[in-house]
Structure 1
Amino acid sequence: MSRTDMFQNTQREPWMTPELEQKLRAIAVDNKITCSQAQQFARDNNIALNKMKSFLDVLKLKVYSCQLGCF
C-alpha cells in the first residue's frame, strides 16, 4: 500500500460527529496518535475498534507505536 492510498475509508459515517472529531484531534499531535491512545478513545466513547480505524482514516490521522508492530 502506498502513502497515497493508505486511508482506505474516507467516507464519514453519521456517528462520526464533530464533537468526537474535536475530542480526537485534541489528543493527536502532528496528525498522529498512538495505538494505545486510539484504543482508549474507542473504549471511552463506545466505538468498535474497526470503526475507530475508519474514523482515523476519515480524519487522516496516522497511528504509531502499535503494540502489534503493524504501524
Structure 2
Amino acid sequence: MQKRDQIVEKLKELSDDSKITCTDARKLAEDLQVEPIEVGKLCDEMKIKIIGCELGCF
C-alpha cells in the first residue's frame, strides 16, 4: 500500500464529522513518516478540517 493510501485510510478512521485535531494530524504524519504538509494536502482534498491548530503546520 502506498503512503498516500495509508494516509487516506487513517484520515477516514481518525476524522470525526469531517474534522481532525492538529495533534492527531501531526501524529499521523509522524507515524507514517511523511511531512505534515502531505497530511494537510490530503485533508484539503478530502474536505477534512484541521481543528485546534497549535503551530500553524497546516
Larger radius of gyration: 1
User: What's 1:42 paired with?
Assistant: 29
Q: What's the TM-score once normalised by structure 1's chain length?
A: 0.66
CA distance in 2, matches of 1:37, 1:28: 9
In the alignment, residue 4 of structure 2 is paired with which amino acid? Answer: M
Q: What's the TM-score once normalised by structure 2's chain length?
A: 0.78
- Calculate the aligned-residue CA RMSD, in Å: 2.3
The runs of 5 or more residues in structure 2 that have no matched partner are none
User: What's 1:9 paired with?
Assistant: none
User: What's 1:20 paired with?
Assistant: 7
- The number of aligned residues is 57
The runs of 5 or more residues in structure 1 that have no matched partner are 1-13
User: What's 1:30 paired with?
Assistant: 17
1:67 matched to 2:37? The reply is no
In the alignment, residue 63 of structure 1 is paired with which amino acid? Answer: I
CA distance in 2, matches of 1:68, 1:20: 21
Please give the per-residue CA displacement for 1:20-65, whole angstroms capped at 9, x wherever unaligned: 3122111110000000000000000111112121111111110001
More helix by share: 2
CA distance in 2, matches of 1:20, 1:69: 20
